[in-house]
Chain A
Amino acid sequence: MAHVILRHRDVENIKELDVYVKNGGYEGLKKALSMTPEEVVNEIKAAGIRGRGGAGFPAGIKWSFMPKGDGQKYIVINNDESETGTFKDREILEGNPHQVIEGALIAAYAVGADMVYCYWRGEYMDAAYPAEKAIKDAYKAGYLGKNILGSGFDCDYHNHFGAGAYICGEETALLNSLMGNLGQPWSKPPFPAQAGAYDKPTVVNNVETLANVPPTMVNGADWYANLGTDQSNGVKIVCMSGHVARPGNYEVEMGKVTYRELIYGDEYCQGMRDGKEFKALLPSGGSGPVVLPDALDGNVSFEGLNDYGSMMGSASVIVMDEDTDMVWAALKMTHFFKHESCGKCTPCREGTFWLEKTLHRIMEGHGTEEDIKTLDRVAHSMQGKCLCALGEFAVSPVIGTLKHFRSEYVAKVRQAEAVPAD
């Protein structure tokens, strides 16, 4: 099947405006402009496009929360891609930037916004050159600016660079960061649709989510809804990393490809690196619990890992082979969350600190059985007590590895205790 999102892999130079237009580019926008904004929202609702940043919230419903009528409103594109193991939004914006711009324009028209901010993680500044050129070319050709394509619809578009903070992927933290504040989440309500950027109604959508919008407008909601499963429509980009032979992004139809096929299939990763045995994988970076070989039969979709106690999330699949020390892996991920905790909620700020410290002690060979209980206790006492999902996800590496690999922890602390202190 030809790519729906990663079209630069099929069409050379689609990042250039003329090539994009020659291949059907901005037809989705034209179609949207010929409809009423409400019809566009209903089309996206009917297509069932769910958020690709990890949470899976239906985009059309998010758009429908925006107040009707005049008044300043914003579209903000979330390109703060920072989940460990995630590298899809960068490829989309480097290879096929106009599809994201077009998607954002359709969103802006649908909700009555006249300004789009694309929030990039600062580390992607170098990757932004094609997108910068795309914005300039779109302005020149009349796809951005005043009276777009003679429709009377005005919309501006700006890139905005962050400066290194995972938490800015959380939508309210991102908006705080855009407004020049510390990137910390706020307690909802107000939801961004009520009071977002500069206290005005705002939609925050992930890059990949918006890239799904133009082809849906062109081909219709039915076409999109017929791709995938009942609960997961369309295609998904899966980021494959870790101990596989051919890591990278792969676009798959939802519900049609298992994790086993992704790892071993010829058109995907072509097996484990160095022919090693598979041990476990993290399906959504650090945020979803680790899964075992039985989960390889699960498919890539929002519901595909339900039976295995985990979730697709942003589909950042980190694959680990038989030699991987799971306590070490848990420490790596916990260190990440500790570093990225914004410090606002005490359970997250203090909890990640103690989880890391305790894991570190176990890894260094100074752990005790009591430390394993401490990990359990701290992790469970963090759950459900933080403003945003970071605090919730931060315990996942510890809880997941304790559930499936407790014996590795026990072996480490028994070994430590067997050595007499000097």
Chain B
Amino acid sequence: MIAEKYAKEIESLFERYPADQRKSAVLPLLHIAQQEYGYSSEEAMKEVAEIIGCDPTHVRGIAGFYSLYYEEEVGKYVLEVCNDLACALRGADEFIKMAEGKLGIDLEGTTEDGMFTLKNVMCLGACDRAPMLQCNLKFHENLDEAKFDQLIADYRAKAAAGDSEPTVVDKILIQTHH
């Protein structure tokens, strides 16, 4: 339950918005819940609705609308490759084919060990450094086959060693400057 685990931080989230506008915290809360539950599961969405005090249907609508919320289970690391026009002009489509082959999965698939999910996404705002991807919202830019091999090896090693990278929760909750 994130309500207990992050009680203090969640309170500080609400303090950023007018007192009667708890719904404003729905996006950050769903980011946190998704991290904790692995994806935007029924329980995750229900818990966010309870914390805010709104109908779970509203949270479900939010999760469906925004592309960073995953309504299906995903791997530990979600690799999201941009293949919009600007990136595709610099080889993003070929890069995705290569990545599919290396991971042995198709787009939207997850490796058997549950480590990686591969997705393609719309523009991530790094068009000058394509091909690029984000892995759990961390950007990796100017990629090629060799760098992709290294990136996968690095994440596998990190997972084996107990990943200490800042999570999405850390990134949301860093904002406690009062």
Contact = CB atoms under 8 A, between A and B. Distances in A.
Interface of A: 81-87, 89-90, 121-129, 132, 135-136, 139, 158-166, 177-183, 198, 239-243, 247-249, 282, 285-286, 316, 318-320, 324, 329, 332-333, 336, 339-340, 342
Nearest to B130: A241
B28 A161 contact: yes
Among B18, B31, B123, B129, chain A packs the most CB atoms within 10 A around the CB of B123
Contacts of A87: 125-128
B97 interface: no
Interface string B69-103: 10000000000000011101110000000000000
A126 B177 contact: no
Among A122, A135, A333, chain B packs the most CB atoms within 10 A around the CB of A122
Interface stretch (B2-10, B108-116, B147-155, B166-174): B166-174
29 contacts: A82-B122, A84-B84, A85-B127, A87-B127, A122-B31, A122-B68, A123-B125, A125-B172, A126-B138, A158-B175, A161-B31, A163-B27, A164-B68, A165-B65, A165-B66, A166-B122, A178-B24, A180-B22, A180-B25, A180-B26, A182-B62, A239-B128, A240-B128, A241-B128, A242-B85, A243-B90, A318-B85, A320-B89, A332-B84
Contacts of B171: 125-126, 128
B66 A248 contact: no
Contacts of B129: 247
A248 B142 CA distance: 12
A372 to B, nearest CB: 21
B175 A124 contact: no
Given A123-B124, A163-B67, A318-B89, A198 B18 contact: yes
B85 A85 contact: yes
B31 A247 contact: no
B171 to A, nearest CB: 4
Contacts of B66: 122, 162-165, 183
A332 B85 contact: yes
A85 B90 CA distance: 12
Interface in B1-54: 16, 18, 21-28, 30-31, 52
Given A242-B86, A248-B128, A123 B137 contact: yes
A161 B27 contact: yes
Kindly state the interface size class of chain B when it binds its partner: 35 or more
Given A90-B125, A160-B24, 18 more contacts: A84-B122, A86-B125, A87-B127, A122-B31, A123-B124, A125-B172, A132-B174, A135-B177, A160-B28, A165-B65, A180-B52, A181-B23, A198-B18, A243-B90, A249-B128, A333-B85, A336-B85, A336-B122
Nearest to A136: B177
Given A90-B125, A163-B67, A318 B86 contact: yes
Contacts of A89: 125
A305 to B, nearest CB: 19
A124 B125 contact: yes
A263 B122 CA distance: 25
Contacts of A316: 127
Contact of B68 (A84, A123, A324, A332): A123
Closest 10 CB pairs of A and B: A180-B23, A164-B67, A163-B66, A247-B128, A241-B127, A164-B68, A332-B85, A241-B86, A180-B26, A163-B68
A282 B88 CA distance: 14
Nearest to A273: B90
Among B28, B125, B175, chain A packs the most CB atoms within 10 A around the CB of B125
Contacts of B65: 165, 182-183, 342
Contacts of A136: 177
Contacts of B89: 241-243, 318-320, 324
B58 to A, nearest CB: 8
Given A198-B21, A242-B89, A242-B90, A126 B125 contact: no
Contact of A83 (B21, B123, B172): B123
Nearest to A177: B27
Contacts of B124: 123
Contacts of A164: 66-69, 121-122
B68 A126 contact: no
Nearest to B137: A125
Contacts of A81: 125
A336 B138 CA distance: 22
